[in-house]
């Protein structure tokens, strides 16, 4: 099977909204036990503001290397954008952070990726518990075939988290800037919403369990300009409470909403990682400048 076919297969299983919720997205929402939180103290060498640190990450799919020696430090409560041409490894990197690559048989990850100082690839880390702390929103909105209300509380129920669900639903939908549009139809199907509303519902579902990090893989690329700008506003707001790592093909979007930008180029290389303003106004690398100004890619 070619790489592309394999990718499509994995991703489509994340995206179907019509089947019963047994796909990878549900795994992101599922908790068993929390093997990670007991050992999350910030190590002495880690900058207190760094929440995610990649140290020499290499990823292979079979014999094909998809990421090469990736090192970066992602600051907390900020938006970090990942940009670069198709196939350069942006989604692969995102999936390293919450170990979604574990679900791809041929994928092999080497190197260290720490979340608040703890290597998420250590043997004692439960990937399912990790995914509770690191939520994910996919390119294509994928609400479950359930009511709006049940979509939002899904992760809580699966994880056995108790609380005032009505209040959590209202709060999560408000934070996802969807409450006013759906408050009178909470028990209608999430699939009956518009694409932009569905994506905000998926964001509400991801934040209902109170993750620390939100990974977003091109969350607005299937949406119209109005819905896109709503998602952009939302991302900026979310960064007050969460660390957002967002993949986008839209340079203006990266420039508008992110604090830091990572530029990956073909071959799975991280060519430059810096403050967004610096990347867009005065990048160190000629290749980055050429990419940003549209000379290639």
Ligand X SMILES: Nc1ncnc2c1ncn2[C@@H]1O[C@H](COP(=O)(O)OP(=O)(O)OP(=O)(O)O)[C@@H](O)[C@H]1O
Q: Tell me: does residue 245 bind ligand X (CB under 6 A).
A: no
Q: How far is the CB of 58 from ligand X (least distance, A)?
A: 12
Q: What distance in Å separates the CA atoms of residue 258 and residue 162, rounded to the nearest whole number?
A: 34
Per-position x/- string for 23-62, each x denoting binding to ligand X as judged by CB under 6 A, each - no binding: --------------------------------------x-
Measured N-to-C along each axis, helices 148-158 and 195-208 cross at an angle, to the nearest 10 degrees, of: 30
Per CB under 5 A, which region of 9-17, 25-33, 83-91, 109-117 contacts Mg ion?
Answer: 83-91
Rg of the chain, C-alpha, whole Å: 18
Residue 91 engages Mg ion in binding (rule: CB under 5 A): yes
Size of the site for Mg ion (CB under 5 A): 1
Report d(CA 258, CA 132) in Å as an integer. Answer: 23
The tokens 């991280």 sit on which residue?
Answer: 270
Find the binding residues for ligand X in span 57-116 (CB under 6 A).
61, 66, 84, 86-92, 104, 106
What does the alpha-carbon distance between residue 231 and residue 83 come to, in Å, rounded to a whole number? 17
What residues have CB less than 8 Å from 187, skipping those under 6 apart?
147, 148, 149
Site string for ligand X, 154-173 (x = CB under 6 A): --------------------
- The candidate with the shortest Cα–Cα distance to 52, out of 155, 129, 121, is 121
CB of 88 to ligand X, least distance (A): 4
List residues binding ligand X (CB under 6 A): 3-4, 6-7, 10, 61, 66, 84, 86-92, 104, 106
List residues binding Mg ion (CB under 5 A): 91
């Amino acid at each position: 099977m070619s790489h592309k076919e394999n990718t499509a297969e994995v991703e489509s299983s994340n995206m179907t909204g019509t089947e019963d919720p047994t796909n990878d997205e549900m795994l992101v929402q599922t908790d068993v036990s929390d093997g990670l939180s007991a050992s999350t103290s910030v190590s002495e060498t880690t900058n207190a503001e760094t929440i995610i640190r990649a140290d020499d990450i290499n990823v292979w799919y079979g014999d094909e290397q998809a990421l090469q020696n990736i090192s970066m430090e992602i600051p907390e409560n900020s938006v970090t954008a990942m940009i670069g041409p198709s196939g350069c490894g942006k989604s692969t990197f995102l999936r390293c952070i919450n170990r979604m690559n574990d679900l791809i048989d041929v994928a092999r990850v080497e190197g260290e990726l720490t979340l608040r100082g703890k290597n998420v690839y250590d043997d004692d880390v439960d990937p399912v518990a990790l995914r509770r702390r690191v939520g994910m929103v996919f390119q294509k909105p994928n609400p479950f075939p359930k009511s709006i209300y049940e979509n939002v509380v899904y992760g809580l129920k699966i994880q056995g988290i108790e609380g005032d669900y009505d209040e959590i639903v209202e709060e999560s939908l408000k934070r996802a800037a969807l409450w006013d549009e759906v408050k009178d139809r909470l028990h209608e199907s999430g699939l009956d919403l518009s694409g932009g509303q569905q994506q905000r519902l998926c964001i509400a579902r991801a934040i209902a369990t109170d993750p620390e990090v939100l990974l977003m893989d091109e969350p607005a690329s299937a949406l119209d300009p109005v819905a896109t700008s709503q998602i952009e506003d939302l991302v900026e707001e979310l960064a007050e409470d969460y660390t957002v790592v967002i993949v986008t093909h839209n340079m203006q979007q990266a420039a508008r909403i992110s604090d830091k930008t990572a530029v990956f180029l073909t071959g799975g290389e991280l060519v430059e990682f810096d403050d967004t303003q610096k990347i867009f106004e005065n990048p160190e690398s000629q290749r980055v400048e050429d990419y940003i100004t549209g000379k290639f890619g």
